[in-house]
Structure 1
Amino acid sequence: MQATAYTYDSETRSGSVLLDDGTPLPFDAAAFDAGGLRLLRPGQRVRIEVEGESEARRVVLVTLHTF
C-alpha cells in the first residue's frame, strides 16, 4: 500500500503517514526499523504494510516507494 510521510521524530523513530484517502495512520519504531530506513522526510512517498482492520489497523513496515 502507498502513503505519504506526514510526521517523523528521529529520536523515537516513530511518526505517521497519510493514506491516499487522507486518513492518518501512526507507525512506531519497529515499523520504521523493519523498512531499513535511516531518515524520513514529511512529503516523501512511502510503501507501507498494514495489519489488522478498522481501529486495530497498524503499520508494520515503512519503506521508501520506488518506481
Structure 2
Amino acid sequence: MQATAYTYDPETRSGSVLLDDGTPVDFDAPAFDAGGLRLLRPGQRVRIEIAGEGDTRQITLVTLQTF
C-alpha cells in the first residue's frame, strides 16, 4: 500500500503517514527500522505494510516508494 509521510521524529523513529484517502495512521520505531531507512521527510511517498483491521491496524513496515 502507498501513503505519504506526514510526520517523523528522528529521536523516537516514529511518526505518521497519510493514506491516499487522507486517513492518518501512526507508525512506531520497529516499523520504521524494518524498512531500513535512516531519515524520512514529510511529503515523501512511502510504501507501507499494515497488519490488522479497523482500530487494531498497525503499520509493520515503512520504506520509500520506488518506481
Provide the aligned length of Structure 1 versus Structure 2.
67
**Distance across 2 between alignment mates of 1:54 and 1:36:** 27
Query: How far apart, in 2, do the equivalents of 1:5 and 1:58 lie?
Result: 15
Report SS of the residue matched to 1:55: helix
Q: Which runs of 4+ in 1 moved over 4 A?
A: none
Identity of aligned pairs, percent? 81
Cα shift at 1:43: 0.2
Which residue matches 2:61? 61
What amino acid maps onto 1:38 in structure 2? R
Per the alignment, residue 33 of structure 2 pairs with 33
Please state whether the residue corresponding to 1:63 is helix, strand or coil: strand
Specify every segment of 5 or more residues in structure 2 that has no aligned partner in the other structure, as ranges.
Answer: none
TM-score (norm: length of structure 2): 1.00
CA RMSD of aligned residues (A): 0.2
Q: What residue in structure 2 maps to residue 23 of structure 1?
A: 23
User: Structure 1 residue 38: deviation in Å?
Assistant: 0.2
- Equivalent-residue separation in structure 1 for 2:5 and 2:22 (angstroms): 11
Give the distance between the partners of 1:43 and 1:25, measured in 2 at CA.
14
CA-CA distance at 1:59 after TM superposition? 0.2
